[in-house]
Amino acid sequence: MTEDSARVDVWLWRARFFKTRSMAARFVDDGRVRLTRLGQETRLEKSSKPLKVGDVLVFAMGGRLVAVAVEGLGTRRGPPAEARGLYSALQNSSGGEAGSSH
């Protein structure tokens, strides 16, 4: 990946939507994430797909629809406050690690 992109599975893990990177990769590989970039929506089927700032991800998790705009790529899996800085929630969506409450 370049400095202006990150693998979608790595980003989902850094943003604390999943406890492990392998869980994030399986979720993406199962086709459960939709990406919107420049007005084009596609279903992701490869966890290695590059993600860029400005992309929008939509996926179902914990019985709710999660829609987030990518605000940053991150360089590590940091504390929850740092992870929340990587995205902004859209459409009354709330993000965070599965099973956690923010």
Name the nearest CA neighbour of 11 among 68, 91, 61. Answer: 68
Structural domain for 24, as ranges: 6-89
Q: How far is residue 67's CA from residue 88's CA, in Å, rounded to a whole number?
A: 9
The domain total for the chain is 1
Stated as kind and residue range, the H or E segment containing 67 is strand 64-70
Give domain status of residue 95, yes or no: no
Give domain status of residue 28, yes or no: yes
pLDDT for 44-85, tens place per residue?
A: 999 999 999 999 999 999 999 999 999 999 999 999 999 999
Give domain status of residue 97, yes or no: no
Give domain status of residue 1, yes or no: no
Measured at the alpha carbon of residue 74, what is the angle toward residues 48 and 1, in degrees to the nearest 5? Answer: 35
For residue 12, pLDDT beyond 50:
yes
Give domain status of residue 22, yes or no: yes
CATH number at residue 84: 3.10.290.10
Global model pTM greater than 0.75: yes
